[in-house]
A and B are shown apart, each in its own frame.
Chain A
Amino acid sequence: MNDKKKLVVSSAPHLRDKGTVGNAMRDVFIALIPVSLVSIYFFHWYAAITIGVCLLTAVLTEVLFRKMLKKEPTLHDWSALLTGLFVALLFPATTPWWKAAIATFIAVGIAKELMGGLGRNRFNPALFGRVALIILAPLISFIDNQFAALYINLGTVDVMTQATPLAMLHQGMEMPGYGELFFAFPGGALGETSPFFLLIGAAYLFYKGHIGWRIPVSILGTVVVLTLLLGENPLHHLLVGSLALGAFFMATDWVTSPFTNRGKVIFGIAIGALVILFRVGLAPTEGVAFGILIMNGFVPMIENATTRYQFGRVRKAVAVTSGEE
């Protein structure tokens, strides 16, 4: 009876849900595969190369930065790969590969790893990388000139030369049909090609419990209300640009969105309003990216203002009767 049994101890609870960060990130990656395939269908090798370059750059950047920071690489959490895919989906197929690579490098290296790694980054890394290229325009055009010889010309894919739906909308041109815009329409960034396939991915994430309804619904609802007030066509605004990608996949990013329920709604409404401000009032592109990034900065403030009371805090007056009901 005194033989020592091999026993394992740990703190409670001794059961754990199967969901891990890695599984969740992988699920988001899977959810983005349909729209990625649509973009490859339209843009052939141009899309495939952009995606490939971004994924590779993301992995290399994470390993490099974590080595520099003397931390173990955490590729198994899928977050680097996911950021890479997001960056790729934010660029049009005509983008030279080095630009996509620089954006990915900034996204994974600076916006994520240097901010303290996954969980500590205040801003959505992929959007940060994408927008950094806009802000660094003079530098980028210098690099463009140096790298021009490396541009891979794969021949022409005629859909790439037409105006993007967002630009058409901005210039008041005649829009393609709703069905076409919804199911698949070439133009704009890779992730803008099919709201339909994005919705399928989003439904999968919703089913898996990785995203909630509050942020997407409040973004899209705000866009509808504001466009109606401004006399614009709400359907066009919902279907063009990266609104679907942003509302379902990027604004819902765990790390950079509020964890309070009321906060999520405020966050979504503000993003929706910023998107319309950018689209209607300012430049026609990247309204979604700027809208989300700006609101990322407000997340701690929103959270502080929207915390709920703990159990029992708001106490109803209890009529304690003497045993009668």
Chain B
Amino acid sequence: MEVKAFLGGINVPHYKSFSEKQEIKEIKLPKQIIIPLSQHIGAPCQPLVKEGDRVKAGQKIGDSDSFVSAPVHASLSGTVSSIEDKKIHSGEKVKCIVIDVDKKQESIEYADNDLEKVSKEDIVKAVKEAGIVGMGGAAFPTAVKIQPPPDKPVDALILNGCECEPYLTCDHRIMLEKAEELLQGVKLLQKVLDVKKAYICIEDNKMDAISELSEKNDDPGIVIMKTPTKYPQGAEKQLIKATLDREVPPGGLPFDVGALVQNVGTAVAVYEAVKYNKPLLERVVTVTGQNIAEPGNIMVKIGTPLDHLLNECGGIKEEPAKVVMGGPMTGVAQEDLEVPVVKAITGITVLPPAMAFGELEYMECVRCGKCVEDCPMLLYPNQISIYGEAGMYEKAEKWNTMDCIECGICAYVCPAQRPIVKFVQQAKPQIQNLQNSRNNT
């Protein structure tokens, strides 16, 4: 099946060739891992261990009583050396459990459950215990997502294998190498959500993944969908629009239109959690870019420091480089390499000196309208950037800044090089404050 396109969006260069043919591989273990207690949207975890404690790989070391949260686990065995605030990739300081890794690894024991016999409650519990979060980058706790409010029934499950970000190939490799697990995971998600129809959406620049999954799939309830290769095809709202022709209303969630979107990697994690009671302690990370010696798709233990990962991939070739956590359209450029890889990190893009620009000098908006033409949320990024820059947040709110998904297209196409996404990111909390104070009076 093929889908219709959403409005707006652009073709960006793919740059997928560095890593798309590289099989998922393991790397040497790091000497130390850093496990942030908050790797998700929602309440941070409280540590369950203290300095000096011995931990096994897979052991839960942080948890929270809040509904919207996800526990964290030791990804390797070792000794807790400290629990302290450390900077993570977003630039925030977060409480982290630092573990000195053992030479000889010791793991918790895994189960081997019969998937025919598991109940809905078993699935929710396994997903919650495994600490699974959305692995496409959003990091929303999956256990919460698979329990939609009763008044918002879901009738369509969408598996997001679009991977529309340039450079990244982790989802591509997962679909190729873990097709069986993915399909099993989809069935579990269908079961827990009581959804008969699931769509696995894949951009047509990954035809091998489309044919692999079509071949392996024998369930008529699962449809392999070919989507056009267009950025941001993998953005949740755009994907729902393209697949189901339903529009999530402003400020709304996919539930509001009876849809639920999960990343393909998340579905695999769900399978492993339900089948083996295996927590989310590792994930596939694409290490790529013109400026990394050996690009690849790496199975990385959560908490692995970025510099270890880069060294294991042959290191940065030329400096000054730009190291982006995530893809180049939405990822965060890193100031230093001691930050850990967390559950939501899809890739590391290492850009060469020629592409490693800092903040660009920009001009006044020349009103060319390119951002207006291409905005997939049908906003007016030009106006938002003008009012955001001027600090006129009420005006910025009126131009629907809060609906922005920060896909980066506006800044990508802007001939005046305006940092529109940055203006949006600055304006959003200010507008939130305005809205809060209005609600309080």
> Known contacts being A15-B412, A24-B415, A254-B369, is A9 close to B335, with CB within 8 Å?
yes
B171-211 interface with A by 8 A CB criterion: 194-197
> Known contacts being A315-B247, A322-B153, is A8 close to B366, with CB within 8 Å?
no
Q: Is the CB of A323 within 8 A of B322?
A: no
Query: CA–CA, A225 to B334, complex, Å?
Result: 59
Q: Is the CB of B368 within 8 A of A254?
A: yes
* Nearest CB in chain A: distance from B328 CB, A: 4
A1-42 interface with B by 8 A CB criterion: 1, 4-17, 19-21, 23-24
Query: CA–CA, A214 to B65, complex, Å?
Result: 57
A321 within 8 A of B: yes
Query: CA–CA, A16 to B166, complex, Å?
Result: 12
Q: Is the CB of B155 within 8 A of A323?
A: yes
- Which of B13, B247, B357, B419 has the largest number of chain A CB atoms within 10 A? B247
A196 within 8 A of B: no
Query: CA–CA, A307 to B421, complex, Å?
Result: 21
* Nearest CB in chain B: distance from A31 CB, A: 16
Q: Is the CB of B403 within 8 A of A8?
A: no
> Known contacts being A1-B311, A16-B417, A310-B379, is A318 close to B166, with CB within 8 Å?
no
How big is chain A's contact interface, by range?
Answer: 35 or more
Chain A residues with Cβ under 8 A from B249's Cβ? 312-313, 315
Chain A residues with Cβ under 8 A from B400's Cβ? 310
Pick from B196, B250, B320, B376: contact of A7, CB under 8 Å: B320
Chain B residues with Cβ under 8 A from A255's Cβ? 366-367
Pick from A9, A16, A19, A312: contact of B247, CB under 8 Å: A312
Q: With contacts defined as CB atoms under 8 Å apart, how many contacts are there between chain A and chain B in the complex? A: 187
Q: Is the CB of A14 within 8 A of B328?
A: yes
A324 within 8 A of B: yes
Query: CA–CA, A24 to B258, complex, Å?
Result: 44
Q: Is the CB of B356 within 8 A of A8?
A: yes
Which candidate, A114-122, A127-135, A152-160, is the interface stretch facing chain B? Answer: A114-122
> Known contacts being A313-B249, A320-B153, A323-B195, is A21 close to B331, with CB within 8 Å?
no
A interface: dominant SS: loop
A311 within 8 A of B: yes
> Known contacts being A8-B333, A21-B415, A119-B367, is A311 close to B376, with CB within 8 Å?
yes
A174 within 8 A of B: no
Q: Is the CB of A310 within 8 A of B321?
A: no
> Known contacts being A311-B376, A323-B196, is A8 close to B365, with CB within 8 Å?
no
B99 within 8 A of A: no
With both beta carbons as reference points, the residue of chain B lying nearest to A324 in the complex is identified as B196
Q: Mark A189-229, 1 if CB is under 8 A from B, else 0.
A: 00000000000000000000110000000000000000000
Query: CA–CA, A77 to B366, complex, Å?
Result: 11
Q: Is the CB of A12 within 8 A of B331?
A: yes
With both beta carbons as reference points, the residue of chain A lying nearest to B248 in the complex is identified as A312
A316 within 8 A of B: yes
B387-401 interface with A by 8 A CB criterion: 400
Query: CA–CA, A324 to B379, complex, Å?
Result: 34
Q: Mark B309-352, 1 if CB is under 8 A from A, else 0.
A: 00100001001111110001111111111000000000001010
Q: Is the CB of A312 within 8 A of B330?
A: no
Chain A residues with Cβ under 8 A from B196's Cβ? 323-324
Q: Is the CB of B250 within 8 A of A311?
A: yes
B346-380 interface with A by 8 A CB criterion: 349, 351, 355-360, 363-370, 372, 376-380
Query: CA–CA, A9 to B331, complex, Å?
Result: 11
Query: CA–CA, A15 to B370, complex, Å?
Result: 16
Q: Is the CB of A259 within 8 A of B382?
A: yes
Chain B residues with Cβ under 8 A from A310's Cβ? 250, 377-379, 400, 403
Chain B residues with Cβ under 8 A from A77's Cβ? 363
Chain B residues with Cβ under 8 A from A74's Cβ? 363
Q: Is the CB of B415 within 8 A of A313?
A: no
Chain B residues with Cβ under 8 A from A20's Cβ? 415-417
> Known contacts being A15-B12, A20-B415, is A254 close to B366, with CB within 8 Å?
yes
Q: Is the CB of A119 within 8 A of B363?
A: yes
Q: Is the CB of A260 within 8 A of B250?
A: no
Q: Is the CB of B333 within 8 A of A10?
A: yes
Q: Is the CB of B416 within 8 A of A10?
A: no
* Nearest CB in chain A: distance from B257 CB, A: 5
* Nearest CB in chain B: distance from A125 CB, A: 13
Chain A residues with Cβ under 8 A from B248's Cβ? 311-312
Q: Mark B49-80, 1 if CB is under 8 A from A, else 0.
A: 00000000000000000000000000000000
Chain A residues with Cβ under 8 A from B197's Cβ? 323, 325
A142 within 8 A of B: no
> Known contacts being A5-B337, A9-B333, A19-B413, is A260 close to B194, with CB within 8 Å?
no
Q: Is the CB of B321 within 8 A of A8?
A: yes
With both beta carbons as reference points, the residue of chain A lying nearest to B166 in the complex is identified as A15
Chain B residues with Cβ under 8 A from A12's Cβ? 324, 328-333, 406, 408, 411, 421
Q: Is the CB of A13 within 8 A of B330?
A: yes
Q: Is the CB of B366 within 8 A of A13?
A: no
B120 within 8 A of A: no
Chain A residues with Cβ under 8 A from B335's Cβ? 7, 9
A44 within 8 A of B: no
User: 6 A-B pairs, CB-CB below 8 angstroms?
Assistant: A7-B319, A8-B321, A119-B365, A312-B237, A318-B258, A323-B195
Chain B interfacial positions (CB closer than 8 Å to A):
7, 12-13, 153, 155, 166, 194-197, 237, 241, 246-250, 252, 257-258, 307-308, 311, 316, 319-324, 328-337, 349, 351, 355-360, 363-370, 372, 376-380, 382, 400, 403, 406, 408, 411-417, 419, 421-422, 425
